[in-house]
């Protein structure tokens, strides 16, 4: 009930458009049920070989660092526990949108999925912290904070009662605005523009503070929305331009650097708790591998995306003064901390990392 309410609250404003309308939702849930029924039949077949199938869903392509990292996990489990488990990785929203996949992980219909930290905020308020604009002073500060398990533990375990736990994080770079035909040089340029944001109250509030019109929708719907002028732009890392084709439509990408929002690998609690101590240690090593492989792949993938976007898609990269964006967003830190004082100690530790690593050099 709570989830349904939250979903409605976050429903995109363009609800009359087919891409997010109730009929599409029904069709996709129906398609997903069919798909999962088929998958369970297959699971039944493999029961003959006494192997438990582990299903992991994500919304990126098969050449994306996220998929490469999950494939490494698949291989690792195969090498170490191949007599007991078979890992299956489903890319490209095959199992539904990220929100659908989180709900499937909650109920145990699938075992793991990758979700952006942004959408996890609707499952636990603690996740709000990593959605704050201009939270991290540099990439180094972001990486050190995310690697600090004493900092992430209260967040990663906050959804245990909801049925899932976060087991590691993945880099999703820095989020910046990109638009079809209006270069964004300052927050004033966002006025009157419909910008797709992730389905999170913090992101909606961020856009309000910056003066644009927030249009929340799932990642898989953004390309069509851009192409059909339902929205004027979006915000994401550089990979969205190339891997998701957004750079075919949007010709201006502005480095305002408003957020570093991690992706999170979450797992179903019942499944995780069913593992023996020995298996759990192997899985934990597997989660570490996901994090390492994804981060190594990420650096080259982003450089390649920038090159392709500039040279083949003819996207112009802009470097606006960040100060007016930072100032416009700053009230959000105060309001989030006031509404959720439990995250204040985590916020304070992040400020220490910011002092230690004030500028990006990586
Ligand atoms: C990034 C992120 C995804 C997220 C997407 C979005 O690509 O890695 O997890 O779904 O942004 O904007 O929705």
| Residue pLDDT, tens place only, 146-195 | 999 999 999 999 999 999 999 999 999 999 999 999 999 999 999 999 99
Cβ–ligand 1 contact at 116 (below 6 Å): yes
| Residue pLDDT, tens place only, 271-312 | 999 999 999 999 999 999 999 999 999 999 999 999 999 999
Per domain, the residue ranges of the chain are 6-173+262-308, 175-260+309-356
The atom number, within ligand 1, closest to the CA of 170 reads 8
Q: Are 264 and 112 in contact (CB under 8 A)?
A: no
Cβ–ligand 1 contact at 131 (below 6 Å): no
Cβ–ligand 1 contact at 268 (below 6 Å): no
Helices and strands: H and E segment counts in the chain: 15, 11
Residue with tokens 């976050």: 10
Cβ–ligand 1 contact at 198 (below 6 Å): yes
Cβ–ligand 1 contact at 291 (below 6 Å): no
Looking at ligand 1, which residue's alpha carbon is closest to its atom 4?
A: 116
Sign for the CA dihedral angle at 53, 56, 62, 63 comes to negative
Domain 175-260+309-356 has CATH 3.40.630.10: no
Cβ–ligand 1 contact at 97 (below 6 Å): no
Query: How far apart are the CA of 287 and the centre of ligand 1, in A?
Result: 20
Among 216, 217, 4, residue whose Cα is nearest residue 97? 217
> Which comes out higher in pLDDT, residue 125 or 9?
125
| Residue pLDDT, tens place only, 76-97 | 999 999 999 999 999 999 999 9
Give Cα 279 to chain centroid, integer Å.
27
| Residue pLDDT, tens place only, 200-219 | 999 999 999 999 999 999 99
Show the DSSP H helices in the chain as ranges: 2-9, 22-47, 65-81, 98-107, 117-120, 139-147, 149-156, 201-210, 222-227, 239-242, 269-274, 277-311, 323-329, 331-339, 344-356
- Region 10-34: what's the mean pLDDT? 39
Question: Would you state the pLDDT for residue 361?
Answer: 82
- Is 175-260+309-356 in the same CATH topology as 6-173+262-308? yes
Cα–Cα distance for residue pair 325/197, rounded to 1 Å: 16
Residue 360's pLDDT band (cuts 50, 70, 90): confident
Can you name the CATH fold of 6-173+262-308? D-Maltodextrin-Binding Protein; domain 2 (3.40.190)
């Amino acid at each position: 009930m709570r989830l349904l309410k939250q979903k409605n609250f976050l429903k995109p404003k363009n609800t009359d458009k087919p891409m997010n309308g109730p009929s599409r939702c029904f069709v996709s849930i129906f398609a997903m049920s069919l798909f999962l029924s088929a998958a369970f039949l297959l699971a039944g077949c493999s029961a003959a070989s006494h192997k438990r199938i582990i299903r992991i869903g994500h919304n990126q392509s098969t050449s994306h660092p996220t998929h490469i990292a999950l494939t490494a996990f698949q291989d690792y489990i195969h090498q170490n526990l191949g007599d007991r488990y078979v890992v299956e990785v489903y890319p490209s929203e095959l199992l539904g949108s990220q929100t659908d996949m989180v709900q499937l992980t909650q109920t145990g219909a699938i075992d793991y999925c990758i979700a952006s930290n942004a959408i996890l905020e609707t499952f636990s308020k603690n996740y709000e912290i990593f959605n704050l604009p201009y939270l991290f002073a540099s990439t180094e500060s972001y990486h050190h904070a995310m690697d600090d398990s004493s900092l992430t533990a209260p967040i990663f375990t906050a959804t245990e009662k909801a049925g899932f736990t976060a087991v590691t994080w993945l880099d999703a770079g820095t989020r910046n605005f990109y638009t079809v035909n209006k270069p964004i040089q300052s927050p004033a340029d966002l006025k009157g523009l419909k910008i797709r944001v992730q389905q999170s109250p913090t992101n909606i509030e961020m856009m309000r503070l910056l003066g644009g019109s927030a249009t929340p929708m799932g990642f898989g719907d953004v390309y069509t929305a851009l192409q059909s002028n339902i929205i004027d732009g979006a915000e994401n890392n550089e990979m969205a331009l190339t891997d998701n084709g957004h750079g075919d439509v949007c010709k201006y990408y502005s480095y305002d650097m408003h957020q570093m929002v991690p992706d999170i690998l979450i797992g179903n609690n019942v499944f995780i708790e069913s593992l023996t101590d020995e298996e759990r240690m192997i899985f934990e090593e597997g989660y570490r591998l996901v994090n390492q492989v994804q981060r190594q792949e990420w650096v080259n993938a982003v450089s390649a995306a920038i090159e392709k976007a500039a040279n083949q898609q003819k996207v112009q990269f802009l470097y606006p003064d960040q100060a007016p964006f930072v100032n416009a967003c700053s009230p959000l830190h105060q309001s989030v901390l006031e509404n959720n004082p439990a995250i204040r100690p985590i916020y304070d530790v992040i400020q220490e990392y910011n002092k230690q690593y004030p500028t990006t050099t990586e």
